Amino acid sequence: MHLVLASENPHKTEEIASILYSRKWSEYQKASLDLTLESLANYPGLKLPPEIGATYSENAAAKARTVAKKTGHWAMGDDSGLEVKALDGAPGLHSARYAGHHPTYEDNLNKLLAAMKDVPEGQRQARFICTLALASPEGEVSIVEGICEGEITLSQSGRKGFGYDPIFYYPPAKKTFAELSAAEKNAISHRGRALKAAIAFFLKSKSKID
């Protein structure tokens, strides 16, 4: 079975591959799923549809369905976001473009910290959401999701990870995501939790996939 990662974000692709091959790969081997991961780099010219859906699920499904149809393989689309309670859920669906078209991670971080400058500690709750769409070559789509609760820090801390990781504090670890090792983050992150659900889906669906 080939699974194509329907993402143009190299950091997401790297993180997904890292999680599947390290933390849970043994489960695939034991189940004889024989899974081969591919990125869009193996399909030059294949473009993802724009993220114009009203929900994470709609965006993830559109990506996965497009890639599955054009490659003839199973595809996994990802749409993720950071939702801040004090900002009524923003940046949410617009997390990647919070500071405008084609912003840098730093642009998004700075805008969010500026928006939160008057929000006191104790009222800076936030959560990361990862929605994964699993699409078959026939166009059938299943949705799984992972959520991680945390807080927005007053300033950046840590140099690992990407995106909003330097300002997302995870209380149980007493660290931001950017202060955690890749293995530590993958074990508790929204994407790690969503991929755990995806693994369960593929193991349950093995006979159908084969």
The 10s digit of each residue's pLDDT in 169-186 is 999 999 999 999 988 998
**β 175-176/168-170 pair status:** antiparallel
Residue predicted with more confidence, 18 or 180: 180
- Express each pLDDT in 108-122 by its tens digit: 999 999 999 999 999
Q: Is the Cα dihedral 46, 75, 93, 57 positive or negative?
A: positive
DSSP-based three-state secondary structure for 139: coil
Number of residues in the chain: 210
The band of 207, judged by pLDDT with boundaries at 50, 70 and 90, is very low
- Express each pLDDT in 36-91 by its tens digit: 889 999 999 999 999 899 999 999 999 999 999 999 999 999 999 999 999 999 99
Average pLDDT over residues 126-132: 98
Kindly state the percentage of the chain with pLDDT values over 90: 71
In the predicted model, what is the mean pLDDT of the chain? Answer: 90
| Total tally of structural domains belonging to the chain | 1
Query: What per-residue confidence (pLDDT) applies to 210?
Result: 47
Query: What per-residue confidence (pLDDT) applies to 109?
Result: 96
**Buried b vs exposed e over 4-19: b needs ≥16 C-beta within 10 Å?**
bbbbeeeebbebbeeb
- pLDDT at residue 102 greater than cutoff 50: yes
- pLDDT at residue 151 greater than cutoff 60: yes
DSSP-based three-state secondary structure for 195: helix
Q: Is 79 tagged catalytic?
A: yes
CATH number, domain with residue 98:
3.90.950.10
Q: How far apart are CA 122 and CA 120, in angstroms?
A: 6
Amino acid at 112: L
Query: What per-residue confidence (pLDDT) applies to 88?
Result: 97
Query: What per-residue confidence (pLDDT) applies to 200?
Result: 84
Q: Which of 79, 88, 107, 118 is catalytic?
A: 79
Helix axes 10-18, 190-204, angle to 10 degrees: 60
User: Could you tell me the end-to-end alpha-carbon distance of the chain, in angstroms, rounded to an integer?
Assistant: 8
Domain residues for the domain of 28 are 2-209
Residue 21 DSSP symbol:
I
Which residue, among 149, 160, 150, 155, has the nearest Cα to 184 in the 3D structure?
Answer: 160
